[in-house]
Amino acid sequence: MTVDRVGHVEPISPGRKSGRGERLGGNEKADTINLSAEAVIQAERYQVLELINSAPETDEARIVELRQKMDDPSYVNDRIGDTADRILSAWFS
């Protein structure tokens, strides 16, 4: 099956611009937005609330468990020793 062109269609050339963004005179002023101090504060509050709402919930029992483990010197020393052994075995195996 062959599809023929219905009419003349120019291909899109990458170097050609549409001209929508061109300036005509050079006297035009740029658009600006001025926010009040209250609007800036409200935006910051909104961002903080979004961060708080997106944060995962804390597991208090898990935090207590980890604090107890960190306070126990034998646990910390064992963990450091295990980590050191894994590092050495990775280097020399």
- Model confidence at 73, pLDDT cuts 50, 70, 90, reads confident
Q: What is the pLDDT of residues 3-22, one digit of tens each?
A: 666 666 666 666 655 655 55
Residue type, 34: N
Catalogue the E-assigned strands of 7-57.
none
Beta carbons within 8 Å of 70's beta carbon, 6+ residues apart = 76
Q: What is the pLDDT of residues 19-67, one digit of tens each?
A: 555 555 666 788 898 989 999 999 999 999 999 899 888 888 988 998 9
Taking the model in full, what pTM does it have?
Answer: 0.33
Instruction: Say which residue the tokens 């050495």 belong to.
Output: 88
